[in-house]
Chains A and B, each alone.
Chain A
């Protein structure tokens, strides 16, 4: 029986293969998108769950109350807290700590060549006992015994040592040699610990001063994991931890908590984190998107199948008369949809294998399409099942419910509401597509709005680098100043470099440093300590960055202005400075001067953040270690070479690292650019699928109305008249979809825009544009069929009736 079902299904597919291929193409695009989304979603939900004993492992979490309304939540704890917990709390079975290297990369020196390494972590001796790692070669024993050891992940070993055996190789970090002791498999996609390099904590503690520092109870440097006995009462353990901490700290402003390893991925209250986290809301949005993409792909099948139902009525009726039961017919139509869906799955697997690398680089995970990635296959099978169900239920019900006699009498087998349903589904498809188109336009507008903000300098021509902190720190103040000034002078002598400024900010584009409590001015209410961002610059800063003065002036040469301050507008407003601003007393960090100028607000943080009070100071402190260079147009390569040469003279043997501000800018808005790309892909997929469906329906309509079109032509209808005759019904649907999509898109895109403090407004013309795009695409799709029908020889279509 089953064989018979599939045989008929295949014949019926082959007979209507044009429709069949439309179905398969649309389905596979939808299924592939859905599978990709679900792989990612499944991975998000499965984070750290495959870790051995994951249900028993907890991480210590600290809640530091700053004032009544602010609590800072930290993921790291004092090194000693773990130590004491292990000693004093009986339910702690195991303890392990890690310090993730996040602030600055480690520089690997391998045979004299420098590599910045950003995936390193310092782990204690128990790490490889608590967390499962597959050792490809070597083991953890030597790693535990020798502080200057390194364990590499497989991909890092390949990166640094290509095909050679990495074991025993030497890597120099800051003049200390480390030996590679083992190579472990890369962390799976669902692991929070994507470390490529492991170094023993003992290596940090080999430096006595550093060790002393890190063992202090006020230093929160280590993610501390406790493996607790099964059945432990977490609340009681937290109290015990709290008691230990409180015994060692004078201030009692810190509350201890425990978070389960498997809950860590969606932990969203941290102030800062060294590991990747997910966002449940985003995951939910993707689940919805995935389901919707699958649904709109299935709509094509349902629409094209039910549209052709009348053509199949005869077959169904005969089968009923010769004895087919409703259940058997039902099964047959399920088989047909299953056949199409399975063919689509084959194409889906093909699409997935092609786009998997793109997907991996986009999601920054490493998923693979191997036979043993059972999750992936489960997702595929699940998607297939859902597809078959979505596809077949309605057509199968409809077709198997035919009354055979009605068919032979020629009365319409399809009720009115059936074609209404079909129209409704097309509207749904286009509502979704138009919504996504509006999304693409809105995100694009916001991103170009961000780009269009003039920062007062040319990002592509502004270069920055920092002198090595450690080296400079060893010098006394005078010597330090001398070195920095020498470097500045030699930089200025380079032809491709037009201006140089030495500043105390790591970034002038995303400066999220601020401090409060050290500023004073006349009229400051007691206890009013707003957060202020200090721009520690030099006189030449204004040669690089154009600031717009509202009143006052820039710093003058010489010593005269070293205590004075320049404010931005917001500072003047929020600090409630007396007017006139110029000449007001302003104290910062005990340094008393006067306000000499006020500039217009400028962007020094991302557009997600509000501009706050900024104060410029012209003090060459030890923190002024960052050089900002203005490079002559198209002289970037020469500039890099020149700066590198100066670096080598001053800091031989240290890695040279620089960046251009346009690269940094791209990094800052990387996630927003990603959203934009993702939205475009989804919009494209939705539009392609919807148009495939429309194409099929238009073909069907043209075929069905062939005779009518023939007669009209004979009677003198023009080609354009006939094209519009066929198109107008469909275009109306797209317009209805536009009406439905607009409020939805308005609402949701406004929510997205709330992410930005500085943003574009939603504009009515965006909807008009999205509508025009949708109508145009739909019209092009339909007109192919409509023109074909209109150009057909009427004699032919009339004779064949």
Chain B
């Protein structure tokens, strides 16, 4: 599904140039559950953002579903993204002004799903995430674990082929964290490819494969059994 080769990304500020990704190559197959680990500042988030087409690389190639996307313009990337990729963030990133239902509904609105179909699909996914009873609440009225479930619901409501999760359990206690990991595993078992950044060896164990990064380069790959 994903194949990147010699990917490079620089950040330039006035004085310093940071190399966030340094000739990084890797691939992810359809249906895989991959964990990315590494110390703070090693480029994990940068990588995830490029994979998620929120950002573009400076050098190298990124093939997504057999299409070279490295130099797609913003419009094309957005189009590809909204039909194929779901995001889960450490800080949930829900819109405070919208209810649980409306937050989850949002991606469907932007992909032009008709109203009746939207209601059906949102209810379905809320049910699956067991937060149906909170559908009319606002994010601030929910616990962290509940918020992250809403975020996951929003990420999956469009039935994406790929889910990118950046430290999804980082703001949660261990029991809520485990719930989230179970949810992701379930999704993976139903066929969704998952790439997850984490600091927790415990969480990484839910994955099939761990990619370890250091200074923007792959240092090790562990296959989980």
Contact = CB atoms under 8 A, between A and B. Distances in A.
A315 interface: yes
Interface in A152-197: none
Interface string B142-163: 0000000000001000100000
Contacts of A12: 97
Contacts of A1: 109
Interface stretch (A37-45, A254-262, A320-328, A501-509): A320-328
B78 A405 contact: no
Contacts of B78: 320, 323, 325
Given A404-B54, A405-B54, A323 B107 contact: yes
Contacts of A320: 78
B165 to A, nearest CB: 13
B141 interface: no
B97 A321 contact: no
A496 B78 CA distance: 92
Contact of B75 (A317, A322, A325): A325
Interface stretch (B35-43, B87-95, B174-182, B194-202): B87-95
Interface in B30-88: 49, 52, 54-55, 75, 78, 81-82, 87
A315 to B, nearest CB: 5
A325 B95 contact: no
A322 B98 contact: no
A4 interface: yes
B98 A323 contact: no
Interface in A7-41: 8, 11-12, 15
Given A322-B154, A323-B81, A4 B93 contact: no
A319 B106 contact: yes
Contacts of B6: none
Nearest to B89: A408
Contacts of A15: 97
A314 B92 CA distance: 11
Given A1-B109, A4-B109, A405-B49, A321 B54 contact: yes
A328 B110 contact: yes
Interface residues of B, number: 23
B130 interface: no
Nearest to B91: A408
A325 B109 CA distance: 11
A725 interface: no
Given A15-B97, A405-B55, A322 B49 contact: no
B111 interface: yes
Contacts of A11: 97-98
Given A321-B87, A322-B82, A323-B78, A314 B110 contact: no
Nearest to A15: B97
Contacts of A136: none
A183 B154 CA distance: 73
B7 to A, nearest CB: 16
A393 B3 CA distance: 41
Nearest to B107: A322
- Determine which residue in B55, B75, B97, B111 has the highest number of CB atoms from chain A within 10 A of its CB, and name it: B97
A518 to B, nearest CB: 86
Interface in A303-318: 314-315, 317-318
Given A404-B54, A405-B49, A405-B55, A319 B111 contact: no
Contacts of A315: 95-97
Contacts of B110: 319, 322-325, 328
Contacts of A408: 89, 93
A25 to B, nearest CB: 23
Nearest to B110: A323
A96 to B, nearest CB: 65
B97 A318 contact: no
A369 to B, nearest CB: 37
Nearest to A321: B87
Nearest to A4: B109
A323 B82 contact: yes
Given A320-B78, A322-B154, A323-B78, A314 B109 contact: no
Contacts of A318: 93-95
A314 to B, nearest CB: 7
Contacts of B94: 318
A408 B48 CA distance: 14
Nearest to A5: B109
A756 B201 CA distance: 90
- Determine which residue in B55, B75, B106 has the highest number of CB atoms from chain A within 10 A of its CB, and name it: B106
A15 B78 CA distance: 29
A323 B111 contact: yes
A319 B54 CA distance: 12
B75 to A, nearest CB: 7
Interface string A264-293: 000000000000000000000000000000
Nearest to A328: B110
A1 B112 CA distance: 9
Nearest to A14: B97
Contacts of A325: 75, 78, 110
A155 to B, nearest CB: 55
Contacts of B111: 323
A11 B93 CA distance: 18
A10 B107 CA distance: 20
Interface in B105-123: 106-107, 109-111
B198 to A, nearest CB: 18
A404 B87 CA distance: 13
A318 B102 CA distance: 13
Interface of A: 1, 4, 8, 11-12, 15, 314-315, 317-326, 328, 404-405, 408
10 contacts: A11-B97, A11-B98, A317-B93, A319-B95, A319-B110, A321-B87, A322-B110, A322-B154, A324-B106, A405-B55
Given A318-B93, A323-B107, A408-B89, 5 more contacts: A12-B97, A321-B81, A322-B82, A323-B82, A405-B55
Considering the complex of A and B, which 5 residue pairs feature the smallest CB-CB distances, nearest first? A323-B82, A323-B110, A322-B107, A11-B97, A324-B110
